[in-house]
Copies of this chain bind each other. A is one copy, B any other.
Amino acid sequence: MVMSSRSGADLALLLLGSYRNLVDEVVRELATRGYPDARPSHEYAIRAIRAGADSASDLARRLAITKQAAAKTIAALVERGYITTETDPADTRRKNIRITDHGIGLITESTAIFDEVRARWEVRLGAPELAELETQLAQFVGDSPINLDAPGWAAGQELR
């Protein structure tokens, strides 16, 4: 069964399959580079934090998830040593988030791996072709309510 089969359902699977291939590869490689417990959601969250999300509510807004969900993610990140939190002296309700060196290492490594995989794809497709593909995908994403700066919907599944 050839899968570029001009059916909408197949297109969906192609998109998801490509995503999972990319992300699974990154997670796998990340594990071998000293981050065996890093999950895609962790990466997205730390990126959002680095981009300015400095509290649970803030992170929740940026990831477009509930603050409860954000709190859980934060707990997981703290537990794994990727971030630390301490209550804001100026507003004792807030708990300020800080990324640890380990966390910095994670996104650095992760970014590098993502780019490596993308580079391999670029070799396969050709640079202009991949660029074109990206602008096309951006169109699909662009006309939507989804905010790509807020990829909360990007929860990812398990490796198998």
Residues of A within 8 A of B (CB): 1-4, 6-23, 26, 43, 47, 64, 110-111, 113-119, 121, 124-125, 129, 131, 133-142, 144, 146, 148-149, 151-157, 160
Given the known inter-chain contacts A15-B19, A18-B140, please indicate yes or no for A8 contacting B116, CB distance below 8 A.
yes
- Say yes or no: B14 contacts A137, CB within 8 Å: yes
CB distance from A156 to the nearest CB of B (A): 8
In the complex this chain forms, how many copies of it are found?
2
Docked complex Cα distance between A43 and B16 (Å): 15
* CB nearest neighbor in B for A65: B160
Q: CA separation between A9 and B18, bound complex, in Å?
A: 13
Select one of B8, B18, B115 contacting A141, CB under 8 A.
Answer: B18
Inter-chain contacts of A140 with B (CB < 8 A): 17-18, 21-22, 121, 124
Verify B121–A17 contact, CB threshold 8 A.
Answer: no
C-alpha gap A157/B157 in the complex (Å)? 9
Q: With contacts A6-B134, A12-B23 known, what are 12 further pairs, Cβ within 8 A?
A: A3-B142, A7-B111, A8-B114, A8-B115, A9-B43, A11-B118, A11-B121, A12-B154, A14-B138, A17-B154, A21-B141, A129-B136
Q: Are B8 and A111 neighbours in the complex by a CB distance under 8 Å?
A: yes
Please report the C-alpha to C-alpha distance between residue A61 and residue B6 in the assembled complex, in whole angstroms: 26
Q: Report chain B residues within 8 Å CB of A2.
A: 138
> Is the CB–CB distance between A16 and B154 below 8 Å?
yes
Contact (A4, B138) CB under 8 Å given A12-B19, A15-B18, A22-B11:
yes
